A and B are shown apart, each in its own frame.
Chain A
């Protein structure tokens, strides 16, 4: 057992866990943040994607201990002051979710994708980069639309601010 301390959604947290505990289980079980999901055992489905020091990671693929001292953002930390993040809002506007299970991972992946590509995203890039996130409900059609829509909107907002 080890005590692990990290910053999650802006707050410093610690928990005692088995050495073999994966970050996703630490987030779900120790911290009670159940928005991050487990959809497979082979790091394929992406339902567990969170941000670690600003980059998207599959939280099933690293140990909680490896995330010690890092800054983690989960789906619960994305909306600010009750306002949906533009990517969350775009998923809603474009019906980019159905059962909601893959959604947190999709949204966290999309935020990272838009951070890296800005408004230059095109459909082929979005589809290629979603390779590590599986959705069984939507056929991806509206997820792709939502990400492209959010990229446009966020790019426009950034331009307006500059």
Chain B
């Protein structure tokens, strides 16, 4: 490994601009003639629009125009779609109701966009938006996912009777029922997975620019996948054909899934730019983000886990209701199905699993993937159940897990996934050692002496990352393939530009991707630039989500580098009059192995472009691209242990220690990997202790600001103890698995298991606020 190569803790190349205020986020963009948009949004959760009068608003100072949903429809702009088809178990397709970018007839959640105001300043646009008169006929609303399926409840979409989107199953129900009937012990639980607001610190923003001269659109947007945004806006929303639409996602301030989707605002600002003849910028405020960014989680499940007399799991039966909100967001259907039920085997050898999932509409903002996406829901359900079972069986939680670990690979689970590599006992042992598990009893006794309740809990998670083999996801309903592309351009004097379809919004790709190139070519990292986020510069790519950029994006880069190296060796061999099979690349030079013959990298590059002396028949230049389609998912796994102290007087939980032991396969940059784990842990701790979206019965969002929605702050979380072990992934050229979501997946059950251990009461839902913990800790009457 070189100083900048794979495995090195290289400080990030991108940091300087962020640290000096030179980052370029969408809201920082400014173009001549630019005007500002504010959206008029529904204040009601469910209503029919009977009229919109913008006369007064149009006459206000600075207002360019006010545009509404009827005009949008008349101009042929299409419905927003969900891009993953799921069929119910009766064979019928999912019931997708129409989602208009600007509602023209019906609004279905508080925040549903109704009109756009374009004005000289944000303040003037906001003033005018308040002067737009929208007449509504109110309809009854439903927000409770358990209530929405009942007869007589408000109906959101005519396509979906009883608000049921699909009723889907996976696994062998009969085998599970037989095992449950024959079980020595059955553990049953009801599990709530609380609804979360993603809250990347940069609010969404977009700048739509229509160029009448070329009949061409440019869209700056806060996207994790600008190419996908262009594809969807072109193919489904009729904004413009792909060759007439450039999408640029510049610096993006965090995503966590919420910036995967194509929202109404991008589409409407592009359209409004053409209608008004001026560039139109919209920047979300935080309350608007709470109201309109796709939320995460929101599952209600029942689970039954069957054990034989030897404490081996014989079956798992899960029934889940997943709340998808008022409309089906872009990937909403795959999250509670193929990203959830397929992970219900966890790290355990379970012979029979059956999951039934019903997805439903409510008058709430759409729900889609949020850091982990389905896998946190599966892990929380499974690891809460394992901990509960261990208590019921009188076993140590570690021993129950050890008894059931999968120990040979590849392992085919009964729910589609084929695990390729792992060593779950290694992570468990590493975590227990780091947490001094055996010393817990003494620490608990000491805490009791101080009047504090101390508890410890663990969680053994697995996730499927590296999304995803295209044919496999295609067969499961995905509307796109999930390969990735990379292009390596060697400049004439030897510096390198990499164009990647992956998109960095905090993950540090400008450093890690450059590390791979530095490692392969022996070049200084400063001579390598990573270009991403612009559909005019980068060929089609699929973007960043599902911890896929290392496993899929960098694998595409590795493939492109193979081609670059092969051609470079041909050129160098010709220059040195050697056989290309004898040429090796090291330390920035091409050398003939076993001799002192050598051509510096830059000289080879120069020769490629001057083309004065190339091997016969070889094209000039040196630029190669590759598309990489993964052969399988990757399977990061690990063990998290949390230890807490609870003040029985106040119910306040203090996290005394948090240990994470992960297996991510090979690691490109340990510093960045640790940072990803830290961030994921804080989000998981946030879910378990602090965060929860709340709507009232009428559909008003009660948690619509940082004063009402508890984000984890620095003094809510501890410093973390993290470590990694390594079983390399056998299915990609780098042996990497992905690390972006693990922390958020593995941490909530470890924390809740610790709290329930401390208070001796398993009846606790997330977020475990002091009030709930205090109540649960009271002696039973």
Interface locus among B132-140, B504-512, B643-651: B504-512
Contact mask for chain A residues 77-106; partner B; CB cutoff 8 A; 1 contact, 0 none: 011000010001001110101111111100
Looking at the complex, which one of B21, B505, B507, B711 makes contact with A134 (CB distance below 8 Å)?
B711
User: Inside 8 A of A130's CB, which chain B residues have their CB?
Assistant: 713-715
How many Å lie between the Cα of A33 and that of B15 in the bound state?
18
Interface locus among A64-72, A114-122, A139-147: A139-147
Most buried by B among A37, A42, A136: A136
B201 near A99 (CB under 8 angstroms)?
A: yes
B706 near A44 (CB under 8 angstroms)?
A: yes
Contact mask for chain B residues 117-133; partner A; CB cutoff 8 A; 1 contact, 0 none: 00001010000000000
What are 30 A-to-B residue pairs whose CB atoms are below 8 Å?
A34-B28, A35-B23, A38-B283, A39-B203, A39-B286, A40-B285, A41-B285, A42-B707, A76-B20, A76-B21, A91-B15, A92-B16, A97-B18, A99-B253, A100-B17, A100-B19, A101-B253, A101-B254, A102-B253, A103-B23, A123-B719, A124-B715, A128-B714, A130-B715, A136-B711, A137-B201, A138-B675, A138-B678, A139-B678, A145-B719
B720 near A139 (CB under 8 angstroms)?
A: yes
Q: Does A8 contact B (CB under 8 A)?
A: no
Q: Tell me the chain A residues, 45-59 only, with Cβ under 8 Å from chain B.
A: 45, 47
Q: Does B589 contact A (CB under 8 A)?
A: no
Q: Does A23 contact B (CB under 8 A)?
A: no
**Chain B: interface size category:** 35 or more
User: Inside 8 A of B24's CB, which chain A residues have their CB?
Assistant: 34
CB within 8 Å for A41 and B705 given contacts A99-B202, A99-B253, A99-B506? yes
How many Å lie between the Cα of A14 and that of B704 in the bound state?
36
User: Inside 8 A of A75's CB, which chain B residues have their CB?
Assistant: 19-21
A141 near B18 (CB under 8 angstroms)?
A: no
User: Inside 8 A of B719's CB, which chain A residues have their CB?
Assistant: 123, 141, 144-145
User: Inside 8 A of A140's CB, which chain B residues have their CB?
Assistant: 678, 682, 712-714, 717
B715 near A92 (CB under 8 angstroms)?
A: no
A99 near B254 (CB under 8 angstroms)?
A: yes
B672 near A95 (CB under 8 angstroms)?
A: yes
Contact mask for chain A residues 11-49; partner B; CB cutoff 8 A; 1 contact, 0 none: 000000010110000001000111111111110110100
How many Å lie between the Cα of A35 and that of B253 in the bound state?
12
User: Inside 8 A of B705's CB, which chain A residues have their CB?
Assistant: 40-42, 44
Q: Does B273 contact A (CB under 8 A)?
A: no
User: Inside 8 A of B287's CB, which chain A residues have their CB?
Assistant: 41
Closest to B720 in A: A141
Q: Does B256 contact A (CB under 8 A)?
A: yes
Q: Does A127 contact B (CB under 8 A)?
A: yes
Q: Does B680 contact A (CB under 8 A)?
A: yes
Looking at the complex, which one of B17, B23, B253, B679 makes contact with A139 (CB distance below 8 Å)?
B679
User: Inside 8 A of B23's CB, which chain A residues have their CB?
Assistant: 35, 100-101, 103
Looking at the complex, which one of B20, B671, B717 makes contact with A78 (CB distance below 8 Å)?
B20
Contact mask for chain B residues 173-201; partner A; CB cutoff 8 A; 1 contact, 0 none: 00000000000000000000000000111
User: Inside 8 A of B12's CB, which chain A residues have their CB?
Assistant: 92, 95
B714 near A127 (CB under 8 angstroms)?
A: yes
Q: Does B252 contact A (CB under 8 A)?
A: yes
Q: Does A126 contact B (CB under 8 A)?
A: yes
How many Å lie between the Cα of A18 and that of B507 in the bound state?
39
Looking at the complex, which one of B20, B202, B674, B679 makes contact with A101 (CB distance below 8 Å)?
B202
How many Å lie between the Cα of A126 and that of B719 in the bound state?
12
A18 near B123 (CB under 8 angstroms)?
A: yes
How many Å lie between the Cα of A75 and that of B20 in the bound state?
6
CB within 8 Å for A101 and B25 given contacts A42-B706, A47-B201? yes
Closest to B203 in A: A39
User: Inside 8 A of A137's CB, which chain B residues have their CB?
Assistant: 201, 254, 506, 675, 679
User: Inside 8 A of B681's CB, which chain A residues have their CB?
Assistant: 139
User: Inside 8 A of B707's CB, which chain A residues have their CB?
Assistant: 42, 44
User: Inside 8 A of B256's CB, which chain A residues have their CB?
Assistant: 136
The 7 closest A-B pairs by CB, nearest first: A35-B21, A100-B18, A101-B253, A99-B506, A139-B682, A44-B706, A139-B678
User: Inside 8 A of A41's CB, which chain B residues have their CB?
Assistant: 285-287, 705
Q: How far is the CB of B171 from chain A (nearest CB, A)?
A: 35
Q: How far is the CB of A92 from chain B (nearest CB, A)?
A: 4
Q: How far is the CB of B35 from chain A (nearest CB, A)?
A: 13
Q: How far is the CB of A57 from chain B (nearest CB, A)?
A: 16
User: Inside 8 A of B508's CB, which chain A residues have their CB?
Assistant: 98
Q: How many residues of A contact B (CB 8 A)?
A: 58
Q: Tell me the chain B residues, 671-708 only, with Cβ under 8 Å from chain A.
A: 671-672, 674-675, 678-683, 705-707
- Give 19 A-B pairs besides A75-B19, A101-B253, A136-B201 with Cβ atoms closer than 8 angstroms: A28-B28, A37-B202, A38-B27, A39-B286, A75-B20, A75-B21, A76-B21, A92-B19, A93-B11, A95-B671, A95-B672, A99-B253, A100-B23, A131-B714, A133-B714, A136-B679, A138-B679, A139-B682, A144-B714
Looking at the complex, which one of B18, B30, B202 makes contact with A39 (CB distance below 8 Å)?
B202
Q: Does B392 contact A (CB under 8 A)?
A: no
Q: Does B553 contact A (CB under 8 A)?
A: no
User: Inside 8 A of A20's CB, which chain B residues have their CB?
Assistant: 123
Q: Does A107 contact B (CB under 8 A)?
A: yes
Q: Does B14 contact A (CB under 8 A)?
A: yes
How many Å lie between the Cα of A136 and that of B251 in the bound state?
16
User: Inside 8 A of A45's CB, which chain B residues have their CB?
Assistant: 201, 286, 706
B678 near A88 (CB under 8 angstroms)?
A: no
Contact mask for chain B residues 240-280; partner A; CB cutoff 8 A; 1 contact, 0 none: 00000000000111101000000000000000000000000
Q: Does B781 contact A (CB under 8 A)?
A: no
Q: Does B111 contact A (CB under 8 A)?
A: no
Closest to B24 in A: A34
How many Å lie between the Cα of A138 and that of B678 in the bound state?
6
Closest to A102 in B: B201
Q: Does A150 contact B (CB under 8 A)?
A: no
CB within 8 Å for A95 and B121 given contacts A127-B715, A128-B715? no
User: Inside 8 A of A38's CB, which chain B residues have their CB?
Assistant: 27, 203, 283
How many Å lie between the Cα of A40 and that of B705 in the bound state?
8
User: Inside 8 A of B252's CB, which chain A residues have their CB?
Assistant: 99
Closest to A99 in B: B506
Q: Does B450 contact A (CB under 8 A)?
A: no
Q: Does B22 contact A (CB under 8 A)?
A: yes
User: Inside 8 A of A98's CB, which chain B residues have their CB?
Assistant: 254, 506-508, 675, 679
Q: How far is the CB of A161 from chain B (nearest CB, A)?
A: 24
B506 near A18 (CB under 8 angstroms)?
A: no
Q: Does B743 contact A (CB under 8 A)?
A: yes
Q: Does A135 contact B (CB under 8 A)?
A: yes
B21 near A99 (CB under 8 angstroms)?
A: no
User: Inside 8 A of A145's CB, which chain B residues have their CB?
Assistant: 719
User: Inside 8 A of A136's CB, which chain B residues have their CB?
Assistant: 199-201, 254, 256, 679, 683, 711
Closest to B715 in A: A127
User: Inside 8 A of B27's CB, which chain A residues have their CB?
Assistant: 34, 38
How many Å lie between the Cα of A152 and that of B726 in the bound state?
35
Most buried by A among B203, B285, B675: B675
User: Inside 8 A of B251's CB, which chain A residues have their CB?
Assistant: 99-100
CB within 8 Å for A84 and B285 given contacts A39-B203, A92-B12, A98-B507? no
Q: Tell me the chain B residues, 196-232 only, with Cβ under 8 Å from chain A.
A: 199-203
User: Inside 8 A of A33's CB, which chain B residues have their CB?
Assistant: 21
A91 near B743 (CB under 8 angstroms)?
A: no
User: Inside 8 A of A78's CB, which chain B residues have their CB?
Assistant: 20
How many Å lie between the Cα of A137 and that of B715 in the bound state?
15
Closest to B711 in A: A134
A99 near B505 (CB under 8 angstroms)?
A: yes
How many Å lie between the Cα of A98 and that of B711 in the bound state?
18
